Structure formats: C-alpha cells, structure tokens
Chains A and B, each alone.
Chain A
C-alpha cells in the first residue's frame, strides 16, 4: 500500500488510462532517435564522470572515475614481505570467483582432468548469477537461428562486439541450454517439452528461456551442487589480492587472503582464471545497484596491474528498472521479464512514453529523460521514478499470471506491503552490468600468458551494451570454454621462478606518473558502515 498523496493521485491516473494503454503497441525508436537520446541522457556520456588513465595497458583511455582510483591504486601487498618458495597450494588451475562462470569453468576443468581449486571472497554461489532473474537467451526454435541471435546482439551492442567472441556466444548457446538441462536445471516448458520463451529488450525472436523469475538462482544452485558433488575444493571467504608471475612473464598464481583473519596464503597455479564478476558496488555516479555485495571489479584490478589490457571499461549498463521505492530495496532489480510478460512503463500522468522492449541503454536513457527534462517523474524519497504498470499483466493474461511467472518479484514487493497484482511499482535505472572488462581471445586467455577470464569480467563479448539474457548465457559458454582451455593448456605449462616484479614495476609507474592517491586495491567489499558513532544508550549497564 502506498501512502504518499502524490503517489496515490498518480496511481489514479495510471488506473484511469490502463484499459486504453493495454491496447497500445508503441512504435520503436529509429536509429537516429536512439543515438540522440543516449548522447543526451545516458550516464556513459557524462564526460565529467570519467577519468583518463595515466598508467598501465590502457593509458590514455577513460574509465569511470571510481574505477580509475582502483586500477591505479596501491597494491595490498606493496609493503608485505612474502615467501614465494613454499606455496601453501600448488595446483593446475586456480579459479578466482565462485559464481556461474567460475563454477562452469571448474566443472569443465575437472572434466579435463586438471587439479582445480576455486577461491571466493564470500561463499560459492554468492554472485550476480544468483540474482539474475529474467532468463537466458539461446536460438533453439525453428523460427530462429544463431545468426539472428548474432544480429540482435551485435546491433544491440552498437556494432562494437568482438565478432569471434559473439560468434562463440550465439553458436554455443543451444548446447549451453542442453548442458544445463542435463545437469538438472528446470527450464519453463510446455507439457510437450517445448521451451516457453519470451522477448527481451532488443530481441527479434522470442528466445528468452527462464526458470520462473529465479533463472539465475536455479542455474547457480545447480552448478554449485555439481561442483560440491564432485568434491572440487572451494575456499570460501578467501580473496585473491594480487596475481603472481614467473620469470618468463607468465601468470603463475595468486596471493590469497583470508577475509576474516587476514592470513595470507600463496597459491601457485599453471593457469589462473579470473571469474570475479562486475562492479556495481562501486556505485558509479552515485547510482544504486542491483549487484551482489562483492561486485567491486577486483578481477579487473588484478589483471590490469599484471599487464592485461581492458576493452570497453567505459561502458556500463544501467538496468532501466531498478526498484525506486520502497527505500529498503532501493536499486534492487526488477527483472526485464516483468516487461516481457506484459507490463508497460508509464509516467506520472499515466502516459506510455516508450515501447517497453527497447534495449536496456535506450530504456534507461528514456526513463532518465522522463524524470528530468520532461518533468514527468513521480517524486520518491530518493528522487524521481516512473511506473511499471504491473496490474496490466493480469488484465491481459488473467489472474495468477504474476504469481506463476514472476513469483520472486511478487514476494520481494509483498515483503514491504506492495501488491504488484493490484498496484503498479516505481522504477528508476540502477547500475547493473559492466559491459567491458578484460580483453580475451576466443580461447578465453587475456593478453597475459596463462591468465584466463570468464563471465562479467570479460570485455568485448557484448560490445557497448548487453541484451537481457546474454549474460547468463555468457557465463556458461565462456566459463566452460575457459575450463576446457585451461585443462588443455596446463598440460604444457612449465612454470619458472615466481616473483612480484610486476607489482614493484607498477608501484614505480605510479610514482613516476605522480600518483599520490594511495587507495588500496582491489577493494574487496564496499563500505556501508555508518561513519558516525552509533547511538548507543550510555545508560546501558
């Protein structure tokens, strides 16, 4: 139940226009309209929020200012004297990150016979994969083709994707769905086994496969179960804080830190896989985020310091529909599937202002325009927002549709007294995905020998914007791909003497460039602890 008078008055308008709005099929924007909209309203185009890097492999390129401090930050081991002679762990494959990409990689590396270990700074499965709600794309129906999938993703990403990576993504998509099914992932199916698929923003065919609106959770818990069933070692609450190289300049392991005790361990590995995910918890430009607590771009920092190049680190995806109200779940994801199953975006006067299934960057920019220059946003305690008219879904497809198709969303809002079957919900863009990341070749290796990357930490698969459902897909396809590559590669790797020369060299580069900021990186966790002294009752005891 909403209590704010302005919100209630606005809801009346939304309700009054609902019957008329349901019938609309708003036209899509032209390429020119989209370009202008993005340039004017998308956060990626706010030049003053970016900083040019002055050192490292991407010197001269701009990145979000918050990220620049970390990429050019001070190493956590700069002042440590570490013994590299007797590593605590000596393995074939070290996977940093226990999300969907890390687990897929581990399973394939294990299949390939490699001695594999996962380290994760939180728990295995604590990852953005777990929070992906809407679905996973794959062209597997008779009216569709991986070529059509390629076209949608390439165009949606502004024709900037690395073609060989995108080719792999779409061509291996059907097999990824098959692999997951065989592991026991439950996809929504008709009684005859036909996949129930919907559109996502920017798709030209209905190829979004889902497991209700717990798609990522269903995939993640199944992968986790498989990793644990195989007995692959997993070190929870253990962060990688620096990569280790050898005297041949290859990646050769990582420095690990126990998140609770601060204890340091050395892991020597023939191949290292970065599967550390995204950067939502850096809160670029002050945006809230839909991301996991651990999404702090650690992998980008580790790889950058060791000499690996980044691709498109300046492009961030703001999911158009983050929760704008209530404040307790500000920034949380409202899955695109809510629009896929029929809800439309309407402004404070109840007007439909766009086709609800434009690509995410365009949708986000359009909502920002509605809430800024057009003055059509609904006031909330945190700013302005637009309505996502959810009751429309039930009017179109019958009562019970919401509970059946998007139960997670229903539950999330009901916890705070809002019943989306009866009342619309308030949304505003939230920081959601790092489109860019570490540059890789088609086998998954970065520009640093024996350093592989999988999942959201990779840059270039999606170009400068990602379509819904292509991220769950990419963690599976490129996670498995990296796993197979490292299992093969580690057979021929001969490690030399381990050293930290690159860390010392980076510190020197920092000094030479006159960088005096000593932000420690990687960041590991965001800091939400209130700074002021908590109001503890002095009379207590």
Chain B
C-alpha cells in the first residue's frame, strides 16, 4: 500500500498517495480540471499554485504539475491573474531604455523586496531581470528571464504592482528583433528562394520517378 499524505485542497481535507503531483492529487480527489491545467509538464504556466504547510508561516509557490504533494499542504490554485499587458507595435519601438519608461513605468517603483524572486517556481532571479529592464539592458533581461513560463506568481507578490512576465516578454522581443546579431545567410537563402534560384533543383528532385527518389534518399550523404 502506498504511503498516503493529507492535503487540504481549497481548505478541504483529502488523503492522497505521497508520490502524486499537486495536479494529480486534485484529480485523485475528484476534481475535473478545466482551468489551471495545461501542458502538465512545466512549460506553459497554467497551473500556478500557492501553498502553505500546516504549522508553518511561509507562503510558497509552485507549478501544480511539477511539484509533489507534501503532508499538511494547504493548496490554492491561481488559474488566472490579471497581469498588465500593454499593446504595442514592435515595428515602431526602438530598443532603448525609454521604451520601458513609456510602457511599464511601474518597474521603476520596485522597492527591492525580492518577493518575486523568492516566489518564482522556475527559480529565476526575477528582481534582477527587472533591474536589467530598468537600465534598458535587454540582452541581460532576456537571458535572465529566458526560462519564464509566465505563470504570474511573481506579480501576485509584488508591492509595486509590476507585471514582471510581460516586462520580460517585451525585453526578449526587443532583444531578438533589434539587438541580437543579424543572420546574413538567412537573408541570402530567402532571396534565393524568392528570385527562383532554387526552383530548378527542387523540381528536378520532386519530379523524379519514385524509385529514383528512393535511391537518392537512401544514398544521400549525411553531414558529419
């Protein structure tokens, strides 16, 4: 018999096998999930969850799909959180510090409490990437925030009302579009296709009789 633990889902007591994730514990306890369940694998951020262990004061955060249940766990899921997402035309923005001041000025109200970092289920240094955004250092902000799943837990804890995942999203787009080194060989191939330079070669492959295509495929050279 598997070891059981006691969990409190929205305050209600349930006994569940200790090997389950929080999400599986909910389904084990009779919940049919609509909200608060996505990729079930730690990539989509749909299952932000807050919990506290009975007898302890600290409020902790996790993704329900990726955290195992613990005995005495009081669980509240956070299937939606109203982050501020500004609308912009990325074509018209410039990768300058100014952008953040205009679109997300609240980041300059950061009080340095670091509650965002402590809450992040991806163990990101959230406060640090906000600091990079403040300075307009989009490359560092993009790097530091790269693993963000935009669950929004950081923002629930923020006394300065910052929507951290949206700030990072903008920084990554600015970095990817304007700051990252430009790829020339990509432009060359796009041009080659558009000007018809590939046409003859691909038609000659496509239009061969099946047996010849098979032969070509089976004997093709594979780059080391």
Contacts and interface: CB of A to CB of B under 8 A. Distances in A.
Q: Most chain-B Cβ atoms within 10 A of its Cβ — which of A163, A175, A333, A529?
A: A529
Contacts of A175: 190, 193-194
B201 interface: yes
B43 A185 contact: no
A530 B29 contact: yes
29 contacts: A31-B214, A122-B38, A131-B39, A139-B189, A147-B205, A150-B205, A154-B213, A170-B202, A171-B193, A174-B193, A181-B186, A183-B177, A187-B176, A193-B184, A204-B220, A205-B223, A217-B149, A221-B150, A221-B169, A222-B172, A225-B85, A226-B90, A231-B87, A260-B35, A293-B38, A293-B39, A536-B12, A537-B13, A537-B15
Interface in A37-75: none
Interface stretch (A244-252, A324-332, A382-390): A324-332
A441 interface: no
Given A126-B39, A212-B146, A412-B42, A529 B30 contact: yes
A87 interface: no
Contacts of A172: 193
Interface of A: 28, 30-31, 122-123, 125-126, 130-131, 138-143, 145-148, 150-152, 154-155, 159, 163, 167, 170-172, 174-175, 177-178, 181-187, 189-195, 199, 204-206, 212, 214, 217-218, 221-222, 225-226, 228-231, 237, 259-260, 290, 292-293, 327-329, 332-333, 407-408, 411-412, 415-416, 525, 527-530, 533-537, 540
Given A126-B44, A151-B205, A193-B184, 8 more contacts: A130-B43, A140-B188, A145-B198, A152-B217, A186-B142, A195-B185, A534-B30, A540-B13
Nearest to A185: B176
B33 to A, nearest CB: 8
Taking residues whose C-beta sits less than 8 angstroms from the other chain, chain B's interface range is: 35 or more
Contact of B189 (A140, A185, A191, A259): A140
Nearest to B172: A186
A237 B34 CA distance: 8
Q: Most chain-B Cβ atoms within 10 A of its Cβ — which of A192, A199, A530?
A: A530
A195 B183 CA distance: 7
Contacts of B28: 530, 534
B173 A225 contact: yes
Interface string B123-150: 0000000000000000000100011011
A328 B21 CA distance: 6
B67 interface: yes
A260 B131 CA distance: 39
A411 B34 contact: no
A141 B183 CA distance: 10
B202 A167 contact: yes
